[in-house]
Amino acid sequence: MANTGEGDQTQVSRHQEVGHKSLLQSDALYQYILETSVYPREPECMKELREVTAKHPWNIMTTSADEGQFLNMLLKLINAKNTMEIGVYTGYSLLATALAIPDDGKILAMDINRENFELGLPSIEKAGVAHKIDFREGPALPVLDQMIEDGKYHGTFDFIFVDADKDNYLNYHKRLIDLVKVGGVIGYDNTLWNGSVVAPPDAPLRKYVRYYRDFVIELNKALAADPRIEICMLPVGDGVTICRRIS
Ligand code: SAM
Ligand code: CA
């Protein structure tokens, strides 16, 4: 990011640091988005779930409020009804999805950890949308394989959000491309991976950032080269790549 000479020096350098969460020019600009457009419109149940999550030690994993608002809008724009989520944590993106789909809509939600999902569940229940969620505890890949084998799930999903183990994203993509319908959408989260996708080889990256970086870079290349989808990489949150199946 260029140093424009504006703003205070600490802030500029924070934004040059690899691993800083916001991909925007300044914290002030991000705060402006949250305070002007996101928080005033955030449903009470999502605010409550966000506040519960903020107290959890792994809160860095949660979907940001602006990305939650984006997902909610996207799902409504495409009239999504049958959806899937891989990587639930406490359920912020799950609740954004559950609120966007119709009353008879469905979310197949998978996570290896049920405890965290249960932290957010009271807010989801209070919102009256828990009946849309089919939560499965365990690794997602065997469930996808089972669905592929069954045959009856091919081309049935309107929307799939992938926000789990980054080293498996390409394995997910191989299966999800069959499960999403033509015209349906898969969203891959964290595709800018803390900005590390452009970090020089000797950059001081946190261990987990360094470990997953090459997988994210591989995924980004593979998605860009996949003729079965149209793609759009958005600098929302930590980067999200929207893929529309075209064949
Ligand atoms: N979408 C969530 C939200 O809005 O808060 C954040 C998900 S968090 C970044 C990643 C989640 O993926 C963790 O809860 C983790 O337990 C889960 N996960 C990791 N490996 C998984 C796997 N193989 N299958 C399913 N979930 C997995
Ligand atoms: Ca994420």
| pLDDT above 70: residue 3 | no
> What local confidence, expressed as pLDDT, does residue 199 receive?
93
Nearest to 171, CA basis, from 138, 135, 197, 145 = 145
Residues whose CB is less than 8 angstroms from the CB of residue 124 and which lie 6 or more positions away in sequence, other chains included: 45, 49, 91, 94, 95, 98, 130, 133
Ligand nearest to the CA of 188: 2
pLDDT in tens, 166-176: 999 999 999 99
- pLDDT 10s digits, 198-244: 999 899 999 999 999 999 999 999 999 999 999 999 999 999 999 99
Please tell me the pTM assigned to this model: 0.92
Average pLDDT over residues 1-8: 34
| Average pLDDT value for residue range 45-61 | 97
Which ligand has its closest atom nearest to the C-alpha of 168?
Answer: 1
Tell me, yes or no, whether 182 lies in a domain.
Answer: yes
* 91 CA from centroid of ligand 2 (Å): 11
CATH of the domain at 35: 3.40.50.150
Is the pLDDT at 4 greater than 70? The verdict is no
Q: What is the pLDDT of residues 114-134, one digit of tens each?
A: 999 999 999 999 999 999 999
Residue % of the chain over a pLDDT of 70: 91
Range of the domain at 106: 27-245
If one residue of 163, 170, 176, 236 were mutated to test the ligand 1 pocket, choosing by the most ligand atoms within 8 A of its CB, it would be 163
Q: Is residue 108 part of a domain?
A: yes
- pLDDT for position 201: 83
Closest atom of ligand 1 relative to the 94 alpha carbon: 4
Which atom, in ligand 1's list, is nearest to the CA of 96?
4
Residue 12, pLDDT score: 42
Residue 192 near ligand 1, beta carbon < 6 Å? no
Model confidence pLDDT, tens digit, residues 174-199: 999 999 999 999 999 999 999 999 99
Q: What is the DSSP letter of 25?
A: S
Task: State if residue 140 touches ligand 1 by the CB under 6 angstroms criterion.
Answer: yes
Q: Give the ligand at the shortest distance from the Cα of 194.
A: 2
Provide the token pair at 100: 């966007």
* Count of domains forming the chain: 1
| Residue 86 resides in a domain | yes
Task: Report the nearest atom of ligand 1 relative to the CA of 62.
Answer: 5
Q: Is the CB of 164 under 6 A from ligand 1?
A: yes
Tokens 């449903």 — which residue?
A: 43
**Domain presence at residue 13:** no
- Domain assignment present for residue 141? The answer is yes
Query: Using CB atoms within 10 A of its CB, is residue 60 exposed (0-12), middle (13-18) or buried (19+)?
Result: exposed
Instruction: Answer whether residue 6 is part of any domain.
Output: no
Q: Would you say residue 69 lies in a domain?
A: yes
Q: Is residue 61 part of a domain?
A: yes
Work out the pLDDT band at 22, boundaries 50, 70, 90.
Answer: low
Mean pLDDT of 85-89: 98
Per-residue pLDDT for 83 more than 60? yes
For ligand 2, the distance from its centroid to the CA atom of residue 61, given in whole angstroms, is 6
Question: 243 CB under 6 A from ligand 1?
Answer: no
